[in-house]
Structure 1
Amino acid sequence: MMLSFVTVTVKHVTIFWQSSMYVQVVTSFGVKMQIQMDPLIQLYLMLPAEKKGSTKGLCGNYNDDITDEFTTSSGIIENLAEPFARSWETEEYLWDGLEL
């Protein structure tokens, strides 16, 4: 079976199958995402160097300090993933009933 790989570009984003397992997303502003589709879905984010130390959220703060990666939305450093993740949820996407 021959696989057909299509590249899609919309405004500042280009999306394409990098291989049979990976989808690549590249932006004009330097952010790259690689999504592993098989055997499990995993997301890899690559930010440009000029963003170092200026990010926050579920992917960490990109400051090369592993001791503060679980910094909550209110600035508290958590020891566990669940309270850290819950601090970033919005009213639209609540975790009620989800087992972590």
Structure 2
Amino acid sequence: MVKPDKRLTKLVLKLTSADWENTSAKQYEIAKEIGVWRVFLNGYSKRGVVVFDEEVLPREELLKRLEDLKPEIVTEESLMVQELIVGSMGSNNVLVNH
């Protein structure tokens, strides 16, 4: 059982060498990792987001697996499992017209 106050790391990445085909394959590969909670790699915008547990999957290992996309860390934050779950709920992901 996972504790709701467990700390995770969220990296927002710029993928300097990415296209839709290799990011799709890489996203699938990374998503299978035990320590990865969320992964989104976009070859069109050349951006990516990975939420992972550094105790299970060290940052260096994750970045090594992404090295062919030439990732650059744009932002980094620490969040709790509870924050990730609440933030992922459908009611928090509603698009609003402005």
Query: Which structure is higher in helix share?
Result: 2
TM-score interval (norm. to shorter):
under 0.3
RCO comparison, higher one (Cα < 8 Å, 6+):
2
Normalization by structure 1: what TM-score? 0.25
